Amino acid sequence: MPINTQILLDTRPTGAASVANFKLIQRETPALQNGQVLVRHHYLSLDPYMRGRMNAGKSYAAPQPLGEVMIGGTAGEVVQSEHPKFAVGDTVVGMGGWQAYSVVDAAQPGALRKVATTHVPLSYYLGAVGMPGVTAWYGLVKIIAPVAGETITVSAATGAVGSAYAALAKARGCRVVGIAGGPDKCQYAVDELGFDACVDYKLHKDAMSLSQALKDACPNGIDGHFENVGGLVLDAVMLRLNAFGRIAVCGMIAGYDGPPLPMAYPALILTNRLKVQGFIVSEHMEVWPEALKELGALVTTGKLHPRETIAQGIAAAPEAFLGLLKGKNFGKQLVKLV
């Protein structure tokens, strides 16, 4: 069995997370038991939700235990198998964590999923045709539920979720406006992702200024919004929402390293009769097959062009993750191991 390189959560952050919170080790991989498979990871997924898991406080899921491999999605290939449904060479995705190899109890429902790479690159199964894509699908289809002609927005527009959201919304005949940081990201959103417009939040120091920019980009107001960021961005969107607007809340990355973020205009929830709903995509596994089918078709037909930022080698994972939290990535953030 191979020697496995792993990254553990060594300490919990106080304020902003740092490289010092992680520890890289090597240890022997245990021999397989009946029903298990050994997966060699080609890619690790880095996602904002991991920051919340690093804290000890109560949340929708248990905290990441100290001294254990950091949680995370993985894509790779089976290199040994003691399970009849998995053969050596199968390409698979799972939750193998921040390590080079994982031993998986393949009989456990949902622990490992075979994927085809003929038309969809393996790495896409951690982004556009994986959890982030399904996240975009659920928030759009099940919560915002847009109709053709409506204007809908999304923060972190060029990230893994935002990229899929644009393609899904355009397929439903919506006007789609992104909110992203920097002129390069906004140009990419319009030129390659198909957004009708994109607002650069970095040009605005307060919610009123950003809200005015959103008014210019959304002359008919906003009917639905997908929130990944919170803070100033959400305040600005709230000022532009139409009556009976819908907000799907997926993340609040602006407040992950500090105290809870206040909401500046909560009274608008009442006066505009808004629907505000948070969700965790892993609690809605029943929609994954339908969502993944549509997302795969969008990639195959060229209607979804996800961009990736790829760090090289497992030792690069902590720095890449911290960069993700600061918006340094462009598209889906991955770590390439093979």
Residue 295 inside a domain? The answer is no
- Check whether residue 58 and residue 82 sit in a common domain: yes
- Check whether residue 117 and residue 210 sit in a common domain: no
Residue 293 inside a domain? The answer is no
- Check whether residue 325 and residue 260 sit in a common domain: no
Residue 292 inside a domain? The answer is no
**CATH classification of the domain holding 201:** 3.40.50.720
Domain count, the chain: 2
- Closest C-alpha among 66, 147, 124, 93 to residue 300: 124
- Check whether residue 148 and residue 277 sit in a common domain: yes
- Check whether residue 18 and residue 103 sit in a common domain: yes
Q: For residue 265, give every residue at least 6 positions away whose Cβ sits within 8 Å of its Cβ, in sequence order, or none.
A: 235, 238, 239
So what's the pLDDT on residue 106?
93
pLDDT tens-digit readout, 85-102:
999 999 999 999 999 999
Q: What mean pLDDT, rounded, does the chain reach?
A: 95
- Check whether residue 173 and residue 59 sit in a common domain: no
15 has a pLDDT exceeding 90: no
Q: How crowded is residue 147: how many other Cβ atoms within 10 Å of its Cβ?
A: 10
Give the end of a domain, one of 282, 298, 318: 282
So what's the pLDDT on residue 267?
97
Task: State the Rg of the chain over Cα.
Answer: 20
- Check whether residue 178 and residue 278 sit in a common domain: yes
So what's the pLDDT on residue 305?
85
pLDDT tens-digit readout, 259-293:
778 899 999 999 999 999 999 999 999 999 999 99
- Check whether residue 112 and residue 151 sit in a common domain: no
Provide the residue range defining the domain that includes 174: 131-282
Q: Select the more confidently predicted residue: 256 or 249.
A: 249
pLDDT band at 256 (very low <50, low <70, confident <90, very high): confident
Residue 265 inside a domain? The answer is yes
pLDDT band at 254 (very low <50, low <70, confident <90, very high): confident
Residue 288 inside a domain? The answer is no
